[in-house]
Amino acid sequence: MTEPPLREPTFLVLTALAAEPQHGYAVLEDVARMTDGRVRLRAGTLYAALDRLRVDGLIEVDREEVVQSRLRRYYRLTGVGERRLAEETVRLRSQATIAERRLRSRQTEIGGAPA
Amino acid sequence: MTDRASVLEGWYRRLLRVYPAEHRRFYGPEMVGVLMHQAEPGRRFPSFAETADLLRAGLAARLRSMPVRQRGTGWRDAAAVVALLGAVVLLAVPARSLVFGARAHWQFGDPMHGFGLDGGLLLDVAVRAVAWLTVVVALLAGARRTAVVLGAGAVLVELAAVAVWLPEQSLRPFWMSEVLTAALITVPLLFAARRTRPVTAVLGRRGAALAVTGVLVAVAAAGADRWWILPPQVLGLITVPDAVVLVAVVLVLWSLRSLGRRTVERVAVLLAPIAAALVAHALAEVETMVPAEPITPGALLGLASVLVGVPLAAFAVALVVLHVTESYTFVVARRVDGNPE
């Protein structure tokens, strides 16, 4: 059965964790950095995504630390999460390729030069 | 920590109460950390956007954690059981009429003869009984998806059985309302149970056979007043048919003994609207049997809203009772574990 497409916050959280295990706040910063500040996740949205991903087995807890008397829980991508992110990346790329091809032919038709 | 920061943290902790306790226990400390880290220095209260985000995500988490949305919590097994019970009731009701009708037909001739509809009533109940019989057979054979399709077909048969007698029998939708309600509840349950274990695996073969027999006997005995006007009593306490109904109900309950407590509770919740439909119908039938007033559109609407509203209300109440009971059990269990919230 084909999985439904990932929502953008979920995709971005998985991408953030693909590099290395990270704690919640680091994921927020990473997502903002990856998107040039376009996506600034809030705590509620972040933890909704983390919870769903953890329940579905796409991520798991890596370790816990206490820094300045605050709990920091690090999450890492699981094998399932890695496969899911790879599938989603292929899907997005193929859609982007189609869109790109159509835009290019459109520009040729109307006489514009491809960028 | 400064005063401002502790005030802000207090606000965040209060806002996090919108999340289910389980979620709060796991993510709460971590979320407070992230929220405090994100907060601009000097802030005393959460921003509007932050508050809205937490409320939205918290309520969504609560909705997700509602028992009906979870797998492996007994709901699907309960749906499989109640779908079987519902389908057997829906088979038994017209089958009972078929038996009584055939007997009357044989003794006194067809009551519909005067309307030029020889055998019309018998055909009506026979087709309905066969439609639900196919559903019951499919369920017992473990063909759950086929049962969904056959169930949908049986609902269409029930609706047709109302439609063909209109407008001459304007009260027919109400005579049959408990059947229609039970049918409209049973089919979604068949659908919900299409991917769970077959009901013969949930109840065991013997359990399923007991449940089917129990419902058939209960429905048959409950209609005994049609031909047995003054039945004898058992020890002057209860009539023989009523005693048979009781025994049959015990038989059905006995068939559920292999289920866990959680599943039995869910069976009760899912049965509540069907039981309420039967009671509402019995009460409404008394009302509509008073022939003095012509049936007005307002009366019909009122009756219809009672027949739809009562099962819905029964389901809602049963769900709330289950939720409260389970929350209480959960808190007690945690206290016993020495791990209070």
| Over residues B125-131, mean pLDDT | 92
Half-sphere exposure of B52 (CA within 13 A, CB side): 4
Phi and psi angles of residue B115, each rounded to the nearest 5 degrees, phi first: -95, 5
- State the best of A41, A51, A52, A64 to mutate against chain B, taking most chain B CBs within 10 Å: A51
Compute CA distances B258 → B77, B114, B202, B267, B293, whole Å.
Answer: 12, 53, 8, 13, 51
| Over residues B48-64, mean pLDDT | 89
More confident residue, B19 or B170: B19
CB pairs under 8 A between A and B: 55
Q: Which residue's entry shows tokens 């038989």?
A: B251
Compute the residue count for chain B.
Answer: 341
Cβ-Cβ contacts under 8 Å, B23 against chain A: 51
ipTM of the complex: 0.85
- The span from the CA of A20 to the CA of B279, in Å, is 61
Q: Find the CB nearest B58 among A28, A44, A46.
A: A44
How far from the centroid of its chain's Cα atoms is residue A31's Cα? 8
pLDDT in tens, B242-283: 888 899 999 999 898 888 888 889 999 999 998 888 777 777
Domain assignment of residue A58, yes or no: yes
Q: Is the pLDDT of residue B338 over 50?
A: no
Question: CATH number, domain at A36?
Answer: 1.10.10.10
More confident residue, A55 or A115: A55
Contact check, Cβ <8 Å, A28/B31: no
Contact check, Cβ <8 Å, B33/A24: yes
Q: Is the pLDDT of residue B292 over 90?
A: no
Instruction: Please check whether residue A65 is in contact with residue B26, taking contact to mean a CB–CB distance below 8 angstroms.
Output: no
| Over residues B1-22, mean pLDDT | 86
Domain assignment of residue A95, yes or no: yes
Domain assignment of residue A32, yes or no: yes
**How many domains does chain A divide into?**
1
pLDDT of residue B22: 87
Domain assignment of residue A2, yes or no: no
| Over residues A94-107, mean pLDDT | 90
Domain assignment of residue A93, yes or no: yes
- The span from the CA of B271 to the CA of B265, in Å, is 10
Domain assignment of residue A37, yes or no: yes
Print the domain residue range for A38. 8-109
Find the chain B residues whose C-beta atoms sit closer than 8 A to any C-beta of A. 23, 27, 29-38, 49-50, 53-58, 60-61
Q: Is the pLDDT of residue B51 over 70?
A: yes
Domain assignment of residue A99, yes or no: yes
Q: Does A24 touch chain B (CB under 8 A)?
A: yes
pLDDT of residue B118: 62
Contact check, Cβ <8 Å, A70/B32: yes
